[in-house]
Structure 1
């Protein structure tokens, strides 16, 4: 199977960003589940077993922190039981995002919410450990999660949560036609990439060091999609993607950006290398 034709590399200036001091990005891994590479990328082997990451990202910002996705939840077994049998696979469970935040001494009142890259079970399950945290969804994904069969786990774990519905401005960002600048400083920008689900998003984050991240959700499941330009297998694309053509166009946009930023497909463990974990908060002064 031929890879996608390589798009021209991005040569325009990157968007302006003014990330404030104190901004930081942390990974919060919550577990993995096993998937043959043959079901993950075109040309993959059934002998090559990939451990799909189920992780969240904490983005610290002086004006309020955000989580990107929620990973596995405390009631994961019940969530997996809600899935069609063909979607269930062996998995390894770690600590939930809520447990990791609490163990570090993190003050949850700093959290503005959880931005879901999309509402599938392996991104939303951990909402059950974040009961008082708002869920950030755009109108497209809110509708998808409410109506589509693959939103069953989301509908279960989101009960009782405040839903913060955000919109997009007609302001292009790195080739994507619409965007939402969370803090107005270019440090955290959400773009609509509605191919995997109708409201799927990519979250671009720039930290004070100048390092840029792109948390691309399930635009591709593995870095092979970026580095080898390998799409999902045809059948998996038809099962998983609402608009395969849109997925292809957005994937090409991200391939063009390779080398300008740290691109993180949600389910590739390799993509999280170099992103620090969450360490305990420093103790306050003794009295």
Structure 2
């Protein structure tokens, strides 16, 4: 299976955080698409069919809310058609993030924007029905504008304000630079380039003290953490802008796994325990 070496568990103190008492976290599942474990992680089986999640996460904070990723949009069929044929997969669309918010009677005026972990299609498709700012750092903004894998982003982003944040804060839990969204340690974005040049991990700390790491596509499935395995060689070549940086980020997250809930974007089970947004009756 060729597991990565076991990194030492994080031994330092956890960063201080003072989340407000009414802060909350919700998952907004927007659909799934199919692939095989053999294409997701080294040592995976061709017989093991995986249903990759396309899920947005709503972080509610009295200073303003954010969505981490946007999931599938209303135009997902057209977005899939923009992909090279060899990466298209059977998919099932559910409610869009906007439909989840509206069904819950959510005031979209509270939403500061969508913060994608990176700009690949399955993280930004839902921007087609969310007229809110897009939060990106300069490296990811450049990647999304120039790389072939930014095609769907370029289709859904016109008309959106781009809120460009700077990863100019201190190292955070082993990652080289950070950005504290609200200044209270409750939502911290960490530089984790490698899958794309400006991809990030979003760390969230709730008032209960529970911590989450939304790691985007450092690994597609939780097996990458629990079994310490990367993507297969060919998929690393095709999917990652810098596989070595992805490996470093994966090892950093493995070192943190005992201290927080690690959520790879496409593992449905990794969202367990995060409640759905209540629906108005």
Do they superpose with TM above 0.5? yes
- The answer to whether the aligner puts 1:55 opposite 2:55 as a matched pair is yes
TM-score for the superposition, normalised by structure 2: 0.99
- SS where residue 217 of structure 1 aligns? coil
Superimposed CA distance per residue, residues 77-125 of structure 1 (whole angstroms, 9 cap, x where no aligned partner): 1101000001111111100000110011000000011000000000000
Cα pair 2:134 2:160 within 8 Å, conserved: yes
- The answer to whether the aligner puts 1:186 opposite 2:185 as a matched pair is yes
Partner residue of 2:223?
224
- SS where residue 215 of structure 2 aligns? strand
- SS where residue 51 of structure 1 aligns? strand
**How many residues are aligned here?**
281
Partner residue of 2:92?
92
Cα deviation, residue 281, structure 1: 5.9
* Backbone CA RMSD of aligned residues: 0.9
Cα pair 2:71 2:122 within 8 Å, conserved: yes
Cα pair 2:169 2:180 within 8 Å, conserved: no
Cα pair 1:99 1:129 within 8 Å, conserved: no
Cα pair 2:103 2:280 within 8 Å, conserved: no
**In structure 1, C-alpha distance between the alignment counterparts of 2:88 and 2:14, rounded to whole Å:** 40
Cα deviation, residue 21, structure 1: 1.1
Gaps of 5+ in 1: 283-287
**In structure 2, C-alpha distance between the alignment counterparts of 1:80 and 1:250, rounded to whole Å:** 28
* Consecutive aligned runs of 4 or more in structure 1 exceeding 2 Å deviation: none
Cα deviation, residue 229, structure 1: 0.2
Matches within 5 A, 1:86-235: 86-131=86-131, 133-235=132-234
Cα deviation, residue 170, structure 1: 4.2
Cα pair 1:34 1:50 within 8 Å, conserved: yes
TM-score for the superposition, normalised by structure 1: 0.97
Cα pair 1:172 1:179 within 8 Å, conserved: yes
- SS where residue 234 of structure 2 aligns? helix
Cα pair 1:25 1:57 within 8 Å, conserved: yes
**In structure 2, C-alpha distance between the alignment counterparts of 1:249 and 1:266, rounded to whole Å:** 18
Cα deviation, residue 243, structure 1: 0.4
**In structure 2, C-alpha distance between the alignment counterparts of 1:67 and 1:227, rounded to whole Å:** 27
Matches within 5 A, 1:260-279: 260-279=259-278
- SS where residue 86 of structure 2 aligns? helix
**In structure 2, C-alpha distance between the alignment counterparts of 1:170 and 1:119, rounded to whole Å:** 22
- SS where residue 51 of structure 2 aligns? strand
Cα deviation, residue 280, structure 1: 3.3
**In structure 1, C-alpha distance between the alignment counterparts of 2:279 and 2:23, rounded to whole Å:** 16
**In structure 1, C-alpha distance between the alignment counterparts of 2:167 and 2:118, rounded to whole Å:** 15
**In structure 2, C-alpha distance between the alignment counterparts of 1:75 and 1:138, rounded to whole Å:** 25
Cα pair 2:51 2:268 within 8 Å, conserved: yes
Residues 281 and 60 of structure 1: CA distance in aligned 2, closer, same or farther (over 3 Å): farther
- SS where residue 168 of structure 2 aligns? coil
Partner residue of 1:243?
242
- The answer to whether the aligner puts 1:33 opposite 2:33 as a matched pair is yes
- SS where residue 221 of structure 1 aligns? coil
